[in-house]
A = this chain, B = another copy of it.
Amino acid sequence: MAGVDSGVRFSAPKLRSWTEAIFQKVGVSGEDAVLLTDSLIEANLRGVDTHGITRMLCVYVKRMQVGVVNPKTQLQVVREHASTALIHCKNGIGQVASNVAMRMAIEKAKKTGVAFVATTHSNHYGAAAYWAMMALDHGMIGLSSTNAPAVVAPTGGRTPMLGTNPFAVAIPAGQEQPMVLDLATTVVARGRILLHAKQDKPLEPGWAFDELGRPTVDPHAAVKGLLAPIGGYKGYGIALAIDLLCGVMTGSNYGTHFPGFLADNMTEPTDVGSIFAALNVESFMDAPEFKAGMDKAIREIKTSVKADGVKRIYIPGEIEFETKAERLKNGIPIPEAVVKDFVALGNELGVPLPTA
């Protein structure tokens, strides 16, 4: 569960303006600050607080301050074909590079039907869904993925060799909300293991391994151990394919060469690789027909018979759309401890956090 549900509620516009000002104070251009902030605030609105300012703001700022990320993003298209491009990000802001990459993919897909753009020497890009969803406004299907620091061992191994390597797919619909899938290739996030350890609560079977690579339900052993990929060797394979595409194919870091990209790495450039694709629905079907088909398929799933004790069947992304509507109305909850950090950050940079 990536969201928080308690804390002080701040209106999204207030947090947005303040966050934009903060980023500008550490050297990000006005235009880039708007973009970077939007990707984070959107994650908060969707309830994905792990990828919102809640967890990212202080880390991103610190990484720019110590010079591990260059706040002045200079992009260079190093290879380009009708339906592909490779963008060198020169250790700039991941979101700035991702925005250009996904826009290029969409523009190319308008002409050729599908496009695939990769970024190299980039940084953490926030939530994968944000980039995939950019395709929706163009009636296209969007896809994005990125590699990440190693926390998963290959099946049979006990050394972390692969990241959680998340990917997102966004498919537009008509009157129904689009389907937006955004998932890490591990069964649970590391945060969930840490929470269980804090509460001395056993894990569910299949979540983690100990440091010798043996399955464990002991949260303390798991903290020192490894996250389990979804579907065992299947998730290992998916995470590996993503690392090979994002890391090896783009000339970026991968596997054990990938240093941390958040608070765990304040010393060296991360060199993340990410991928972005857009698929034009109209290459296969007229838009109205596709939208009607999507609505029908979505409704069939939502109205299918529920399991015992289940209130509702959700489409991927549906909870996030509802959370966004609620948070636009009631504000984004920021936990007390994070509010304190924000107050300190605002004071340090001369941009006081507005009152809630």
User: Main SS of the interface on chain A?
Assistant: mixed
* A17-25, A31-39, A91-99, A279-287: which lies at the interface: A279-287
The reply on A264 being an interface residue by CB < 8 A is: no
Q: Which listed residue (B81, B237, B297) contacts A248, Cβ 8 A?
A: B297
Q: Which listed residue (B155, B212, B283) contacts A81, Cβ 8 A?
A: B283
Give chain B residues whose Cβ lies under 8 Å from the Cβ of A300: 161, 255-256
> By the criterion CB–CB under 8 Å, are B206 and A171 in contact?
no
Interface centre among A111, A233, A234 (most CB of B within 10 A): A234
Give min CB distance, A316 to chain B, whole Å.
Answer: 4
Give min CB distance, A336 to chain B, whole Å.
Answer: 30
* A64-72, A239-247, A339-347: which lies at the interface: A239-247
**CB contact list, A274-304 vs B, under 8 A:** 277, 279-281, 283-285, 289-290, 293-294, 297, 300-301, 304
> By the criterion CB–CB under 8 Å, are B283 and A79 in contact?
yes
Q: Which listed residue (B111, B154, B230, B279) contacts A304, Cβ 8 A?
A: B154
Question: Contacts A86-B283, A212-B308, A308-B214 known; A240 to B301 CB distance under 8 Å?
Answer: yes
Contact-residue bracket for chain A: 35 or more
> By the criterion CB–CB under 8 Å, are A307 and B256 in contact?
no
> By the criterion CB–CB under 8 Å, are A112 and B84 in contact?
yes
Give min CB distance, A247 to chain B, whole Å.
Answer: 8
> By the criterion CB–CB under 8 Å, are A316 and B237 in contact?
yes
The reply on A179 being an interface residue by CB < 8 A is: yes
- Docked CA distance A113–B169 (Å): 21
The 7 closest A-B pairs by CB, nearest first: A213-B307, A230-B231, A84-B113, A81-B113, A83-B112, A82-B112, A237-B316
